[in-house]
Amino acid sequence: MPERTQTKREAAGGERQLHLNAFLMSTGHHEASWRLAESDSFAGTQVAHFQRLARTAERGTFDSIFFADSPVLHGDVRQRPYGTLEPTLLLSAIAAVTKRIGLIATASTTYNDPYNLARRFATLDHISGGRAGWNVVTTAGEAAARNFSLDDQPAHWRRYERAAEFLDASRKLWDSWEDGAPVGDKAAGVWADSSRVHAVNHTGRYFRIQGPLDVRRPPQGHPVIVQAGSSEDGKDFAARYAEAVFTAQQTLAEAQRFYADLKRKTAGVGRNPDHIKILPGIVPIIGSTEQEARRLERELDELIHPEHARKQLAGILRVSPESLPLDGQLPEDLPSEDEIEGAKSRYTLIVELARRERLTVRQLIGRLGGGRGHRTFSGTPGQVADAIQGWFENGAADGFNIMPPVLPSGLDAFVDHVIPILRARGLFRREYTGSTLREHYGLPRPASVYADGGTSDGGTGTSDSSEPTAPTAPTKRELVVSEP
């Protein structure tokens, strides 16, 4: 397909533009990326590697970079690099060598407490001058539970109920200092107005917190809240709290349904649906020709360890590896989504992908190797731009979570060859116009609960009158899909 230089949308002066996030993962998202000759097998613990990637993404004027995280060592360390640096610490080092790009870290509400995480993200927001974002996860899996003195993971609905209270408590803590509390009056010997620093006195089902926070209000008011769950519980949570959503969708129709449903849910709880950015993941395998892109995809897929990948798939599906013959299709008697206490939406996506396309286990492993269920697309820069534009302009996305299969080359290729096409089509910024992550996303800065002399009741207003006060934590009944 030819690489167009102008579209009808650009000629008409369309204002809506893409939001692009760079999801960075050691040597890349393809599980065999570390085996390529170009890859540094030990890049995952090298700060300079990630600083270089962040500067590249900033050169491409990405809204943000993003790091996943988990409180457990996943997978077989014999087969691929595992183990990651704690992301808020890593992003603090990245903040020192970048100026504009947003910095999003993942942290679990199941295996932390609000005070320490609210403090950590407030600190990152101060260090970066207002660029911090928090990807809120509830963490599935029994292995993580066993690292925190639990015999089993809490039920799916309970993890989301705890997360709701966690967010409400964190927002109270960020608001515990009013914006004007520090005065620095040297003549009077008064550093801060103590009447504008408040105890939160939060008492809920899961947490009791006196407060106030020991760091003043973040530059953004609150760090940007990101969420990645696509189950019904996850969508309900996102509608109430999230300002950006990372999601995995395989087809345009699926993405359109998810997009419409989440925007509707967001409006239904009294929020402006434009204030939640939906960003599906895409793994772009880029070549100067389509044949070159396909060759790189085959090279990567051929380096996957089939038995290792089969074992991983069996863990997701909650079946034995022996029940998944490599050259056969998935068994018919798989568990239903209601029986899964882990990542429900990813489980369903994988099963539906295999059923819809009648994939063998070997073929399914290949499809999952690049992005663990995220859409993989191979082609020229123009074809990748077409794929992004098609979803963006057809009600499926506000932008994308770009997941390079190989790093650094995959990010270099996207910034050097795809970004210029998107810019030429009027779809993406040529330079930053703001300095905070909220400004990049076009989000209002939340007003403190104390801005009008209020008391800390968990509500959070906004500087934009089109969005009313956010609701308090949803009740257990509102979040339950099925009780265990």
Domain residue limits, the chain:
8-291+374-446
Instruction: Tell me the C-alpha distance between 150 and 157, whole Å.
Output: 17
pLDDT in tens, 200-228: 999 999 999 999 999 999 999 999 999 98
Question: DSSP letter string over 135-197?
Answer: EEE----HHHHHTTT-SSPPPHHHHHHHHHHHHHHHHHHHHTB-TT-EEEETTTTEEE-GGGB
Instruction: Tell me the C-alpha distance between 39 and 44, whole Å.
Output: 11
The set of residues, in sequence order, having a beta carbon less than 8 Å from that of 90 and lying 6+ positions away, is: 47, 50, 67, 105
CB-based contact 258:247 (threshold 8 Å): yes
Instruction: Tell me the C-alpha distance between 376 and 367, whole Å.
Output: 8
The set of residues, in sequence order, having a beta carbon less than 8 Å from that of 135 and lying 6+ positions away, is: 66, 68, 104, 105, 106, 107, 226, 227, 228, 246
pLDDT in tens, 24-54: 999 998 888 889 999 999 999 999 999 999 9
| Residue 453 zone, left/alpha/beta (φ > 0; ψ -120 to 50; rest) | left
Q: What tokens does 412 get?
A: 């270099």
The set of residues, in sequence order, having a beta carbon less than 8 Å from that of 106 and lying 6+ positions away, is: 66, 67, 68, 69, 70, 87, 135, 137
C-alpha distance from residue 412 to each of 33, 57, 405, 409, 416 (Å): 15, 8, 11, 5, 6
pLDDT of residue 267: 97
Q: Which helix (H) or strand (E) holds 9?
A: helix 8-11
In the chain, what is the straight-line distance between the N-terminal and C-terminal CA atoms, in Å? Answer: 51
- Would you tell me how many other CB atoms lie within 10 Å of the CB of residue 75? 15
Look up residue 400 and give its amino acid: F
Any idea how long the chain is?
484
Q: To 10 degrees, the CA torsion angle through 234, 21, 255, 465?
A: 70
Specify the CATH superfamily of domain 8-291+374-446: Luciferase-like domain (3.20.20.30)
Q: What tokens does 274 get?
A: 């434009």
What is residue 452's DSSP assignment?
A: T
User: Which ranges of the chain have pLDDT less than 70?
Assistant: 1-14, 75, 78-79, 83, 336-346, 366-373, 452-484
Instruction: Tell me the C-alpha distance between 222 and 229, whole Å.
Output: 21
Residue 163 CA to chain centroid, in angstroms?
A: 16
Q: To 10 degrees, the CA torsion angle through 188, 190, 192, 198?
A: -110
Q: SS3 for 64? A: strand
Q: Full-prediction pTM beyond 0.95? A: no
pLDDT of residue 481: 28
pLDDT of residue 312: 72
Q: What tokens does 92 get?
A: 């603090």
Q: SS3 for 89? A: helix
Residue 152 φ/ψ, nearest 5 degrees: -150, 160
The burial of 152, by beta-carbon neighbours within 10 Å (0-12 exposed, 13-18 middle, 19 or more buried), is given as exposed
Q: SS3 for 395? A: coil
- Would you tell me how many other CB atoms lie within 10 Å of the CB of residue 422? 22
